[in-house]
């Protein structure tokens, strides 16, 4: 059997990497798996290779880095379906540091305000995993209300975005991520990169999926139907589950004028640059 080819799927957290990975895996020759978070290793490995004397020989440095590339591919092949001809590594992270060199990269981008709403629900479903609940005591109080009623924020939408620190920090994080990916695509012109907007994928799932299959070099016709969890969004909202709603424009239900102001002050220019807002 011919050796498989590989690709990386990237995007900011809660931007639809899980959904897109499943859509790509609906092709009979593709398997997109994750999350591996190898950027944690590469982010330390790359500086090490350029700072330690033992790696001063460029040939030896490249030999070492190539061995790590080979390790990643071996791990992916071990996990992927045995019939997969194209294997994707899915991690919600930025392009840089480039984990697997020389492979196509697909990057999904989503309106940062919808990202923040999804992230907020994710935080309340996993309070033990984030330091915000210690840094912002008021969030801990809101969490107690959410624990008592999973639909608390649907009934009190103004409470989801009422914590200024959380809104501003999330906006900055999203802004820096999407700017960083645009910059990386320009910095590495030989890195084959394809961007897809969550909103476009939502509006034309079939067409966008076919475009991405063509980007990966597989026949768009050899895939399964878009139904069930592959369909955009969910019929019923699930506020206490990882895959909650998958809606476009849900931020309008939760952003107060204050939250809108905080987000725009931190990331308004990038909302405009990404086509999510008009110049004010």
Report residue 46 CA to chain centroid gap: 23
CB burial string 220-232: b at 16+ within 10 A, e below? eeebeeeeeebeb
DSSP lists the bridge partners of residue 109 as 197
pTM above 0.85, yes or no: yes
Q: What residues contact residue 269 under an 8 Å CB cut-off, 6+ apart? A: none
d(CA 57, CA 62): 9
Report residue 137 CA to chain centroid gap: 28
How do the pLDDT tens digits run along the chain, 280 residues long?
578 999 999 999 999 999 999 999 999 999 999 899 999 999 999 999 999 999 999 999 999 999 999 999 999 999 999 999 999 999 999 999 999 999 999 999 999 999 999 988 888 887 665 677 778 888 888 888 888 898 899 999 999 999 899 899 999 999 999 999 999 999 998 999 999 999 999 999 999 999 999 999 999 999 999 988 888 766 677 656 656 677 889 999 999 999 999 999 999 999 999 999 877 6
CA distances to 81, 210, 220, 231 from 203, in Å = 29, 14, 18, 11
d(CA 34, CA 51): 30
Give the chain's domains with CATH numbers.
5-111+192-230 (3.40.50.300), 113-171+235-273 (no CATH)
Q: In what order do the strands lie in the sheet with 105-109?
A: 30-33, 86-90, 5-11, 105-109, 193-197
The confidence score (pLDDT) of residue 139 equals: 83
Neighbours of 5 (CB within 10 A): 17
């Amino acid at each position: 059997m011919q050796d498989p080819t590989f690709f990386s799927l990237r995007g900011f957290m809660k931007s639809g990497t899980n959904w897109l990975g499943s859509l790509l895996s609906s092709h009979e020759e593709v398997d997109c798996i994750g999350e591996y978070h190898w950027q944690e290793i590469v982010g330390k490995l790359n500086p090490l290779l350029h700072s330690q004397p033992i790696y001063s020989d460029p040939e030896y440095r490249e030999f070492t880095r190539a061995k790590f590339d080979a390790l990643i591919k071996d791990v992916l092949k071990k996990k992927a379906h045995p019939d997969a001809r194209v294997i994707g590594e899915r991690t919600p992270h930025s392009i840089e540091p480039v984990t697997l060199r020389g492979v196509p990269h697909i990057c999904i981008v989503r309106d940062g305000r919808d990202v923040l709403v999804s992230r907020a629900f994710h935080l309340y479903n996993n309070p033990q995993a984030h330091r915000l609940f210690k840094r912002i005591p008021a969030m801990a109080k809101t969490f107690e209300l959410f624990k008592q009623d999973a639909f608390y924020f649907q009934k009190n939408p103004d409470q989801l975005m009422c914590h200024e620190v959380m809104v501003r920090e999330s906006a900055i994080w999203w802004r820096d991520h999407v700017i960083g990916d645009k910059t990386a695509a320009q910095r590495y012109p030989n890195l084959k990169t394809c961007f897809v907007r969550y909103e476009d994928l939502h509006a034309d799932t079939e067409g966008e999926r076919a475009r991405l299959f063509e980007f990966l070099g597989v026949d768009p016709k050899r895939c399964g139907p878009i139904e069930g969890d592959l369909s955009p969004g969910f019929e019923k909202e699930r506020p206490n589950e990882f895959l909650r709603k998958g809606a476009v424009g849900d931020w309008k239900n939760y952003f107060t004028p204050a939250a809108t102001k905080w987000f725009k002050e931190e990331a308004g220019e990038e909302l405009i640059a990404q086509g999510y807002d008009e110049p004010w």
